[in-house]
Structure 1
């Protein structure tokens, strides 16, 4: 949003997950020519029922807001908007069918493929719901791509995946995430005191009501930690992230696991971690949690899925573990290799700083939005 605001006046429409999000409203006031921060509708089961009745994806129903839709309508009627930037497929529903200006759709990930993977791994009613969601989202993605001037994905692999699922010729390209290394700087942050004694302290960060994250920490707690503790009795695993589900909170105290929950700042937990782990079995696009840990000069142990989209070298910038046994082996080896760990952390930070800064990632924004060398009007 900061990069877009440097190109043209920006009008921002978004949803607040919970009341605490309104505490950050001042950032929108500073950035935007105008904005609407509408409460996200509660009660996901109700959204699910509405989606079934309307024959639409649950993802769309869960992000539907009459207040935000009216704000978009009013903004387009009263401002000289020449470009609309849609972030995530769920927000595409707010673009009026009558819109004929420039439309940039940033899908980030191919969500239909993610739910397809959920359906294959699941069983019973949940698998049916995920299969339905995948099919309907695939249609939504196709319609958005058809309308868009450009469609963006977070990595070249995701862009290629979308091309393989969409017929016709369209401008589908990668626009990766960046990292602010001046913010994620270990020199500025003191380690959290809870990560002082014992060890190794292993940390996972993320939104903890998100199915892939739930599966990842459950795998770590139930499958990896019992075997790791046999080799390293003082090993502990800390789950840091907002909205932990019941399945996640149930892991507290099991096999050296602590469930920290939401924190105002993840950096002290990253700074104090002996290692950051990302045992994800389903991962789309580029994992910010991995980039943030690398920027904080932490050694990171990841699955091949979590490493996707990051141009890093195994053994130099991070460690890729193919299975549970590999996680245990690499964590044990790193715990006894102080100099190697420090060197890996420094190499990881250098890679992120040099190749994955926001400035480098967003250099094409003026061209994408149609403001390169042209008259500055408004974007929404």
Structure 2
């Protein structure tokens, strides 16, 4: 087997954690085909426990500790040089030296980069075949943040959106192929970076449908027996914070008027202060970290994804669909998912539609949408078939996506 360098911005484990699912399955897929040399950051002290597990999949590894607060402060220096905050945030001399030695000593001919800031470590190695998985257009997330925030944060986020887009375009020009999480995401980037349009493609996220299965006999975490509406996700991530605040403010009070015993559960690690404050409201529960999100999804009456800021495919939606739950989504949360509204999923475009949809599902005993949702995921979102596209690009002689 050939040697391959794989660079990831966060340790790709555990496999059931939203922002690591894609990078983990990539690692597993690559480990079956290459001697993988993994360079990655650890920004959560709890994640050091996974180091030995990840090492078993790799020929060699380098784990760089990252302090989020220190990195955030240091990255502000990019403003003085008109640089990219996201790139400086992940700048690390030790990782750079390890990459240089590994490429030299192992004769690396294939490189896969996960997330745009990690591209900085291999920009000077044009002889290797380089593929980047951007996943989402991160610069557009910053643009959306700028539109939602007041000055001076609106200025800061707008600056980062512009600088990061220029960097993303530069990376796409230098690499042999650039991948995204969905066809719409890839199409949008082609418009933003027309000079690289022939080398832009995508592969969809997948779901482990055996792990996210509806019939595993999960213990009901909702001990009061009241109908539960669930949202899952990392709760220090601002689009998720914005989503649950909007749901709690604009939708849930109207739902309670029709269903007085309805409960809204916000399930996810590291809830921000704004999210924790929601727990003081009647019927709203903030769990924080839970050992397994599946029982919360399996026993919920409705799963919701009321995202107003989003890019790419939402794993939380696919996972709830895989567990045969009816999911009510915003247009932003549906983007890139091949689900038919009204059959596989419920689409709500404004608060009134959201209230109506959630109320209807709380009143109904029909499981047709959940059944159709699981079938859709099983049919279209298997990891192996989606990841075959990455393998083809890494081995291709011509740079085409």
Q: Same fold (TM over 0.5)?
A: yes
Deviation at 1:192, TM superposition (A): 3.7
**Higher mean C-alpha deviation, range 307-316 or range 21-30:** 21-30
**1:126-168, Cα deviation, whole Å (9 max, x unpaired):** 1001100100101110111001111001001000110101132
Following TM superposition, by how much is the alpha carbon of 1:100 offset from its aligned partner in structure 2, in angstroms? 2.1
Distance 1:187 1:198, change over 3 A: closer
**Contact 1:225 1:255 (8 Å CA) reproduced:** no
Contact 2:123 2:174 in 1 (8 A): no
Residues 215-263 of structure 1, C-alpha deviations (whole Å, 9 max, x = no match)? 0010011111111111111111111111211111111121421111122
Cross-structure match for 2:372: 347
TM-score norm. by structure 2 comes to 0.88
Instruction: Answer yes or no: is 1:337 the counterpart of 2:367.
Output: no
Are the aligned partners of 1:222 and 1:255 in contact in 2 as well (CA < 8 Å)? Answer: no
Q: In structure 1, what is the equivalent of residue 106 of structure 2?
A: 79
How far off its partner does 1:5 sit?
1.1
Question: What secondary structure, in the 3-state scheme, does the structure 2 residue paired with 1:107 have?
Answer: strand
* Aligned equivalent of 1:167: 194
> Helix, strand or coil for the counterpart of 1:317?
coil
User: How many aligned positions are there?
Assistant: 369
Aligned to 1:110: 137
RMSD over aligned CA atoms reads 1.6
Deviation sequence 1:320-364 (CA, Å, 0-9, x none): 0111111111111111211x2x22111111110111110121122
For residues 139 and 358 of structure 1, the distance between their equivalents in structure 2, rounded to whole angstroms, comes to 31
Q: Is residue 97 of structure 1 aligned with residue 97 of structure 2?
A: no
The separation in 2 between residues aligned to 1:54 and 1:77, in whole angstroms, is 31
Tell me what 2:243 maps to. Answer: 216
Contact residue 276 and residue 286 of structure 2 kept, 8 A: yes
Gaps of 5+ in 2: 1-26
The answer to whether the aligner puts 1:364 opposite 2:377 as a matched pair is no
Does 1:39 find its partner at 2:65?
yes
The list of structure 1 runs, each at least 4 consecutive aligned residues, that deviate by more than 4 angstroms after superposition, is none
Give unpaired runs (5+ residues) of structure 1.
373-380
**Closer, same or farther: CA 158–297 of 1 in aligned 2, 3 Å:** same
CA contact (8 A) 1:229 1:255 kept: no
* Pairing partner for 1:181 from 209, 216, 226: 209
